[in-house]
Amino acid sequence: MRLLVVEDEVKLAAYVKRGLEADGHAVDVAHDGEEGLWFARNQPYDVIILDIMLPRRNGYQVCADLRAEGNWTPVLMLTAKDGEYDIAEALDTGADDYLTKPFSFVVLSARIRALARRGNSARPAVLAVGDLKLDPAAHTCERAGEPIALTPKEFSLLEYLMRHPGEVLSKMDILNAVWDWTFEGDSNVVEVYIGYLRKKIDAPFGRTSIETVRGVGYRIVPDGGKRA
């Protein structure tokens, strides 16, 4: 694999590079955020190992910039602190995983392999289907820039639909994904909640983005226009 290590602690960067090269990987090292961005923009990597506290541009900013530019190379964040806040922020800015220093090289190596399996397809932190946007971290929803208030269950249902845009999801799929195992009601609850969602995300905007596929299930589509 081709890997990028962005780490300002020169000794640690050299240690990681040596270890990864011994595993047979090709490893480039950058010692600050700007340099890291330059490498990430100009070379293809399978995984980027990105420290958070970096000179010139911190790891959060580097990761956010890459994602904003449509670069979805898996990112493993390194954090010196183990505060939950840092980890949550790292993951919310588009990182895929994190390791707290000091870390075991064996674990680093295994995490890199796991991340490489994800590939570099888009994994946006904010979901968008047309002008409908859902931010699972901030727990906000908006259409055409207008905020929409959703209950937790409506939010989960919409998130599930938006994670599978254009895909027909059966009531059973939806029930299994959004309701827990102990749920004993019947699957009409799905219809009921689809109705609630339509009243909030579609009707006020003159859209029909949640489509019913007769006898099969539901799907969310980007245009959300009226269909014959």
Q: Which is nearer to Ca ion, 59 or 94 (CB)?
A: 59
**Are 142 and 148 spatial neighbours (Cβ–Cβ below 8 Å)?**
yes
Q: How far is the CB of 41 from Ca ion (least distance, A)?
A: 21
Ranges of beta strands (E only) in the chain are: 2-6, 26-30, 47-51, 75-79, 97-100, 127-129, 132-135, 140-143, 146-147, 210-213, 217-220
Q: How far is the CB of 20 from Ca ion (least distance, A)?
A: 18
Asked whether the bond before 55 is cis by omega within 30 degrees of 0, the reply is: no
Q: Which is nearer to Ca ion, 53 or 99 (CB)?
A: 53
Instruction: Give contact residues for Ca ion (rule: CB under 5 A).
Output: 8, 51, 53
Q: Which is nearer to Ca ion, 8 or 142 (CB)?
A: 8
Determine how many CB atoms are found less than 10 A away from the CB of residue 58: 16
Strand pairing class (2-6; 26-30)? parallel
Q: Which is nearer to Ca ion, 12 or 126 (CB)?
A: 12
Q: How far is the CB of 170 from Ca ion (least distance, A)?
A: 48
Q: How far is the CB of 110 from Ca ion (least distance, A)?
A: 22
